[in-house]
Amino acid sequence: MEEKAASDNPQKTFTCQLCSLTSPFTYYGQKPPNTRAIVLLEECFITKDPFSPDREKFLVLGSICSLCGTYVCVGSDCSLFYTKRFCMQCVNKHLDQFPHQIQVELAKKKQSAKAAVS
Ligand SMILES: [Zn+2]
Ligand SMILES: [Zn+2]
């Protein structure tokens, strides 16, 4: 373990294990501090919105895949929230277990991604 001084440092870092997005976060959980009556649907990594003077504003950086425990950002390329957080690897693995509408949306996204490349 690190010495105690290091653990007092409030600067913690979240890293998405799929796209390597890295950002410091201030809180992990379902109830961001300094907010009134906000309870998130899932435990997430949260940081204060650096562009807003409103201290109740915050950004959700990412969360943890409920199936495999991978740290994923909330970007639509990395994870999907459907009752729980799923990383895209698990979504693709278990796609047949998601509702048809989600399968259609993902298929559309894949198509548009291909179109953007070509
Ligand atoms: Zn990501
Ligand atoms: Zn996963």
Contact 62, 45 (CB under 8 A): yes
The confidence score (pLDDT) of residue 115 equals 76
Q: How far is the CA of 2 from the centre of ligand 1 (A)?
A: 28
Q: How far is the CA of 77 from the centre of ligand 2 (A)?
A: 13
Q: How far is the CA of 46 from the centre of ligand 1 (A)?
A: 14
Q: How far is the CA of 45 from the centre of ligand 1 (A)?
A: 13
The confidence score (pLDDT) of residue 6 equals 47
Q: How far is the CA of 1 from the centre of ligand 1 (A)?
A: 28
Residue among 113, 18, 26, 112 at smallest CA distance from 74: 18
Contact 9, 26 (CB under 8 A): no
Q: Where are the domains of the chain?
A: 4-117
Q: Is the torsion defined by CA of 79, 81, 86, 89 positive or negative?
A: negative
One-letter identity of residue 14: F
Q: How far is the CA of 85 from the centre of ligand 1 (A)?
A: 13
Average pLDDT, the chain: 88
Which ligand is nearest the CA of 93, by number? 2
pLDDT, tens only, 44-62 = 999 988 788 887 788 999 9
Q: How far is the CA of 15 from the centre of ligand 1 (A)?
A: 8
From the CA atom positions of the chain, what is the Rg in Å?
17
Q: What is the pTM of this model?
A: 0.80
Q: How far is the CA of 21 from the centre of ligand 2 (A)?
A: 17
Q: Is the pLDDT of residue 95 over 90?
A: yes
* Residue 108 CB neighbour total at 10 angstroms: 10
Region 5-32: what's the mean pLDDT? 85
